[in-house]
Structure 1
Amino acid sequence: MRIPVQKQLKWWGIAAAVLLAVMWLLGQAILPFILGAGVAYLLDPVADRLERAGLSRLMSVVVITVGAVLIFAAVILLVVPVLIRQAAALIETAPQMIEQGRAFLSARFPDLLPAGGTLGTALTDLGRAMGEHWSNIAQTVLSSVGGAISAIAILVIVPVVAFYLLLDWDRMVAKIDSLLPREHAPVLRRLSREIDRALSGFVRGQGLVILILGTWYSIALMLVGLPFGFFIGMMAAILSFIPYVGVLIGGATAIGVALFSFWSDPVWIGAVIAIFAAGQVVEGNYLQPKIVGGHVGLHPVWLLLALSVFGSLFGFVGMVAAVPLAAGLGVLARFAIEMYRESALYTGQGVPAQAETPLLVEIAPRGTVAAELRKARQDADRTLAAVHDEARLTGTQSAGAPPPGRD
């Protein structure tokens, strides 16, 4: 018997509530496993490609693991120390730059920042606060990140989980497919493909865009001699997943530092502006359309909303899971809209009732049924008479026969 739709929705709602409750209660405990699953998901296409090249699944995973460990070690040893050092130096220098900018505006545009005005006082207080408390701010940020992601989880649990999940990824997907409800399996497979297309297109495509932009901004800013250029370039690239936010924040920071450092040489200020203009042109006209594409379905506003909501509900775990959850919810929302447009609520027309099995009626000439009935009665009478004759004949033969045992 088919399960009613209301009951099915009830069970699916309970499953979703259990998932959210697990994320809320066991967030920090399951964070390494979520990160490991994300790493395995991102690297599965690479493993499939190595398999098609002739390697076994185990050897493909081993090659990927060795390469990932080497890249991770290089980033930790070479890139992270530079980023931390330049970020600390920029925070330390920021009060001086803010004070110089305030003095410049006060001298050139006295009406904009009057003495004792609100804006001028706010800038002065901001510079003083940053100068006094920058070390505390950095320490708080680092301690928060350290509390969310322990070194053991990053260096041990995440690679191990990613290794085993990547090794059994195809079998795991096949097993999950075999457990899908048979009635809804085609629809669930279709939704899963759309979620995978949206998620992989955004994460892998946007990751490649960030890598390209980060390399361009960092190297170009360092070549022009901009202080803290490496950190500013990487910051602008990482924020580029939100259109215009990365170039605005990174560009404003870079131009501000350039004005502070190259005030007497405006050529280099123009060079910094040209670097960000070129990066924006290349990103908007080539990188985003060609690499990420327009079929992803993750609108920046929707992504920001997901990061904000899931981050506030589940902390750092929610921020990590925000992108896949946003992709899944976006696909489900489009599917719900599609179902709504096909429903009677949208069309204003009731769903036609299912047609019953047609009744076959044979049309025969008049008198055919009566003739068939007469023929059937005649056949029955003949059969009954034959039975009586056979019984009578059998009784006569029995009466004329000698008794058994006598000659």
Structure 2
Amino acid sequence: MNDAMRIYRSGLGLALLVLTGLMVYWLQPILTPFLAGALLAYLGNPLASRLQRLGLNRTLSVSLVFLALAAVAVAVVLMLIPLVGSQLGMLRSQMPAMIEWAQTQALPAIEQALGVDASVIDLNVVRDALSSHWQSTSSIAAGIVQRITQSGFALAGALASLALVPVVAFYLLRDWDRVLAASLALIPARWRDTVAGLGRECDEVVGAFLRGQLLVMICLGIFYAAGLWLVGVQLGLLIGLLSGLAAVVPYLGFIVGIAAATLATLFQFNDWLIPLLLVWVVYGAGQVLESAVFTPLFVGDRIGLHPVIVIFAVLAGGQLFGFAGVLLALPIAAVVAVLLRHAHAFVTG
């Protein structure tokens, strides 16, 4: 009887897990604002709890955190988007000249240095394709905007989804402890302590990655952008931000950034030796700061996610569930990693 009951409960748990996955898949068009709001609430909860421990009530603490997040978001939009837009415009205007430079100077230099024949590479085709793509981008964007504005339902849906994010974030942040307590109360009493312990460990891993790695990415993006700007690289802001975003995977931001910055420096400067050395110094210093300061300070050693797992989780989540899957990918991967470690310890111990 006990074996039959265990099999029944295991089957029921598996069925609930499969049903949850199917629900996420079916409801992904409307899940994004809820997931984005939950992510904001999760990121802001430690600060709200700290303010609450200082003597403020929960609603006031949440309001202050919410206002701070809103102010940061507005500042980023007002300051960063125009700068990035100007950098993209500069990249668009320089793209044909970059392709021409690569065809007439970079490839011959590679042929001479490596002794290979690169004449089969015709970058004119790439230049024509990029030019047509850049020219069509504005018309495509205009067409999308026109379609949205022509359809009242589509416009209302987009505005409603955008407005839902702060609403969901505020109420989840205010009731975060009650939501966790109610969720834990659903667990059978004999499993409650175990589940609570696993939850705390999962929270450490997920929080370290989401909060810590996000801070690492921001710090690296600012450092690389400022360093390249001081060197005089015209596309330094864009390359620096790209390096920061790619830092979600360890060493990927360094590799992508130094490659892009090297090409941009060689293209921009006639006497490129000193600027190139300075660019390499910037990325070398950024790598030292990441490994010696930013990662120990913000992340520590609590993540336990291999870079390959990070890449696979993001790509798999996006492929299966779209943007909602991207938001869920890393938290789920971190939780699965914790559960697998405990399962391995249970089996081998």
Gaps of 5+ in 2: 149-153
C-alpha distance 151-76 of structure 1, shift in aligned 2 (>3 A): farther
CA distance in 1, matches of 2:109, 2:31: 56
SS at match of 1:315: helix
Tell me, in whole angstroms, the C-alpha distance in 2 between the residues paired with 1:151 and 1:225. Answer: 40
1:141-167 deviation digits (Å, cap 9, x = unpaired): 9969x99xx752564110010001111
Q: Say if 1:83 and 1:231, in contact at 8 Å, map to a contact too.
A: yes
Task: Determine whether 1:133 maps to 2:133.
Answer: yes
> Structure 2 vs 1, CA of residues 214 and 105 (structure 1 numbering), >3 Å: closer, same or farther?
closer
Deviations 1:311-346 (A, max 9, x none): 11111111111011111111122222122214xxxx
Mapped partners of 2:231, 2:109: distance in 1: 28
Cα distance per residue 1:88-113 (max 9 Å; x no partner)? 43244233213202211454455656
Secondary structure of the residue that 2:190 maps to in structure 1?
A: coil
Question: Cα gap change, 1:60/1:106 in structure 2, threshold over 3 Å: closer, same or farther?
Answer: closer
Structure 1 residues 358-406: Cα deviation after superposition (integer angstroms, max 9, x where no partner): xxxxxxxxxxxxxxxxxxxxxxxxxxxxxxxxxxxxxxxxxxxxxxxxx
Mapped contact 2:33–2:162 kept (Cα < 8 A): no
Whole-angstrom distance in 1 between the partners of 2:66 and 2:339: 34
Residue number in structure 1 paired with 2:336: 329
Asked whether the equivalents of residues 95 and 126 of structure 1 are also in contact (C-alpha less than 8 Å), the reply is: no
Q: Identity rate of aligned residues, in percent?
A: 33
C-alpha change, 1:49 and 1:176, in structure 2 (3 Å) is: same
C-alpha change, 1:106 and 1:204, in structure 2 (3 Å) is closer
Letter in 1 for 2:84: L
Please say if residues 239 and 246 of structure 1, whose CA atoms lie closer than 8 Å, have aligned partners that are also in contact: yes
Q: Which amino acid aligns with 1:242?
A: V
Distance 1:108 1:33, change over 3 A: closer
Partner of 2:219: 212
Aligned to 1:369: none
Q: 1:294 & 1:152 partners in 2: Cα distance?
A: 40
> Equivalences for 1:192-271 in 2 at 5 Å?
192-271=199-278
CA RMSD of aligned residues (A): 2.4
- 8 Å contact from structure 2 (residues 266, 272) kept in 1: no
Give the Cα–Cα distance (whole angstroms) in 2 for the partners of residues 154 and 230 of structure 1. Answer: 31
Amino acid at match of 1:97: M
| Structure 2 residue aligned with 1:388 | none
Q: 1-side partners of 2:202 and 2:290: how far apart?
A: 25
TM-score (structure 2 length as normaliser)? 0.89
* Residue ranges of structure 1 left out of the alignment (5+ in a row): 343-407
Which of 303, 318, 343 matches 1:296?
Answer: 303
Give the secondary structure class of the aligned counterpart of 1:32. helix
Q: Quick one: distance in 1 between partners of 2:168 and 2:198?
A: 26
1:113 to 1:40, Cα distance in 2 relative to 1, 3 A? same
Identify if the C-alpha distance between structure 1 residues 175 and 139 changes in structure 2 by more than 3 Å, giving closer, same or farther: farther
Task: Tell me the alpha carbon deviations over residues 209-241 of structure 1, each in whole angstroms, 9 at most, x when there is no partner.
Answer: 111111111112112221121111011011112
In structure 2, the partner of 1:28 is: 29
Paired with 1:309 and 1:201, the residues of 2 have a C-alpha distance of 22
Following superposition of structure 1 onto structure 2, how do residues 99-248 of structure 1 map, counting pairs within 5 Å?
99-108=100-109, 110=111, 114=117, 117-118=119-120, 120-121=121-122, 123-136=123-136, 152=159, 155-248=162-255
Following superposition, the deviation at residue 137 of structure 1 comes to: 5.3
1:339 equivalent in structure 2? 346
**Structure 2 match to 1:312:** 319
* Partner SS for 2:247: helix
Q: Which has the higher contact order (CA 8 A, sep 6+)?
A: 2
The alignment's TM-score, normalised by the length of structure 1, stands at 0.77
- Equivalent-residue separation in structure 2 for 1:81 and 1:226 (angstroms): 18
Asked if 2 retains the 8 angstrom alpha-carbon contact of 1:105 and 1:113, the reply is: no
The answer to whether the Cα contact below 8 Å between 2:314 and 2:330 also exists between their aligned partners in 1 is yes
1:241 counterpart SS class: coil
Q: Greater Rg, structure 1 or structure 2?
A: 1
What is aligned with 1:46? 47
Distance 1:159 1:136 in 2: 34
